[in-house]
Amino acid sequence: MTKIIETKDVRLFYGKKEALHGISLDFNKNELTALIGPSGCGKSTFLRCLNRMNDLVPGVSIQGDFKLHDKDIYSSKMKSDDLRKQVGMVFQQPNPFPFSVYDNVAYGLKLKGIKDKKEIDQIVEDSLKKAAVWDEVKDNLHKNALSFSGGQQQRICIARVLAVKPDVILLDEPTSALDPISSNQVENTLLKLKKEFTIIMVTHNMHQAARISDKTAFMLDGDLIEYNKTKKMFLSPDQQMTSDYLNGKFG
C-alpha cells in the first residue's frame, strides 16, 4: 500500500485554545478511510487541514507535518488552489453552483484551461457517470442543478469534484443532510470511486463507516484514540474507549 497523505503530530489552535492535540494519521492510496467520533471531536477540523480550508477561518493556527505525495502541504511553494485541485472536497450540505448541471461539472475544467468543447462534454459525461447520477440528469443537463433532489445535488457535487481529477477526495459528512435512500446511493457511488481515488470521509454515522470504509479512525476531544482496519475496529477494537463508543455507551 502506498501512502498518499501523511500527517504527523497535527495540532490546531483556535486562538489560544488547542482543538487538535497532536494527531498522526496516514492515508493509503485507493482506500476509503472514515473519521468517526462524537460531535466536536475535531474530525471535520482535521479533514479541513488536508486541503487547507482552515486557512480561511480567522484565528486558526496549525502545527505539524502534512505531506501529499511526499510534498509539504503547508510549504510556501504549495499554492492552496493547486493543492485543492489535487485534494477535492464535498460538503455536508449539497452546494452546487446555481448554474446548470453541465456548467457545474464543467466549471473547474474551464478554469484549468480546457477549451475543447468535445473534451469538456466527454469529461462532464464521465464524471457524472462515475458519480452515478448520469442516468438521472442526462436529459436535463442544462437545467439548474438546484432543481434536483438533495441526493442528486450531492452526487452532482461529487461529479464536479471528479471532473478536476483530484487524487484525494475529502467528504465532510456527505450524507447527513440526505434521506436514507439518497444516502445509500451516495455510499454506493463512493464504493465504486475508491478504485480510482483515495477517499477520506468524516461521518457521524458508525454504520456507514462500517459498511463502506477500509480503515477507520476514532477521534475524541481532539485526540486520536484508535486507527485500525474497519473490520478489526468494529469486531475487536484495541481500546476500551473505542468499544464503548461503538456500542453506544457514550456519544
Partner 1 sequence: MNARRNNKIATGVIIGLVSIVVLILLSLIGYILITGLPDVSFKFLFTESKAFAAGGGIVNQLFNSLYLLVLSLLISIPISMGAGIYLAEYAKPNWLTSTIRTSIEVLSSLPSIVIGLFGYLVLVIKFQLDFSILAGSIALMFLNLPILTRSIEDSINSVSPLQRQAGLSLGLSRWETIKGVIIPEALPGILTGIILSAGRIFGEAAALIYTAGQSAPTMSYTNFNPFSETSFLNPMRPAETLAVHIWKVNTDGITPDADIISSASSAVLIIVILIFNFGARYIGNRVYKKLTGDK
Rounded-to-integer distance, Cα 115 and Cα 97, Å: 20
Beta strands in 41-103 (DSSP E): 60-68, 71-72, 87-90
Q: Is 207 exposed, middle or buried (0-12, 13-18, 19+ CB in 10 A)?
A: exposed
> Among 26, 23, 28, 81, which residue's Cα sits nearest to residue 52?
81
Please identify, using beta-carbon distances, which residue of 61 and 147 lies nearer to partner 1: 147
Beta strands 26-28 and 3-14, pairing class? antiparallel
Q: Does 15 bind partner 1 (CB under 8 A)?
A: no
* Closer by beta carbon to partner 1, 201 or else 206: 201
Identify which of residues 121 and 244 has a Cβ nearer to partner 1 in the complex: 121
- Asked if 149 interacts with partner 1 (CB under 8 A), we say no
128 vs 59: CA distance, rounded Å: 38
Positions 60 through 89 that interact with partner 1 (CB under 8 A): 80-85, 88-89
Residue with cell 480510482: 196
Q: At its nearest, how many Å lie between partner 1 and the CB of residue 100?
A: 3
Decide if residue 108 touches partner 1 (CB under 8 A).
Answer: yes
Question: Binder to partner 1 among 7, 33, 44, 100 (CB under 8 A)?
Answer: 100
What SS3 class is residue 95?
coil
- Complex with partner 1: residue 101 or 233, whichever CB lies closer: 101
Contact 183, 151 (CB under 8 A): yes
Burial class of residue 167 (count of CB atoms within 10 Å of its CB; 0-12, 13-18, 19+) = middle
Least spacing, CB of residue 203 vs partner 1, in Å: 18
Q: How far is the CB of 5 from partner 1 (least distance, A)?
A: 16
Q: Is 138 in the site for partner 1 (CB under 8 A)?
A: no
Q: Which one of residues 18, 22, 38, 93 is an interface residue with partner 1 (CB under 8 A)?
A: 93
Please check whether residue 171 is in contact with residue 200, taking contact to mean a CB–CB distance below 8 angstroms. yes
Cβ proximity of 217 and 25 under 8 Å:
yes
Q: Is 228 in the site for partner 1 (CB under 8 A)?
A: no
- In this chain, which stretch among 6-14, 107-115, 191-199, 205-213 interacts with partner 1, using CB under 8 A? 107-115
176 in contact with partner 1 (CB under 8 A): no
Backbone phi, then psi, for 164, in 5-degree steps?
-80, -5
Is residue 8 within the footprint of partner 1 (CB under 8 A)? no
The residues binding partner 1 (CB under 8 A) are: 51, 53, 56, 80-85, 88-89, 91, 93, 95-100, 102-103, 107-108, 111, 142-144, 146-147, 157, 160-161, 164
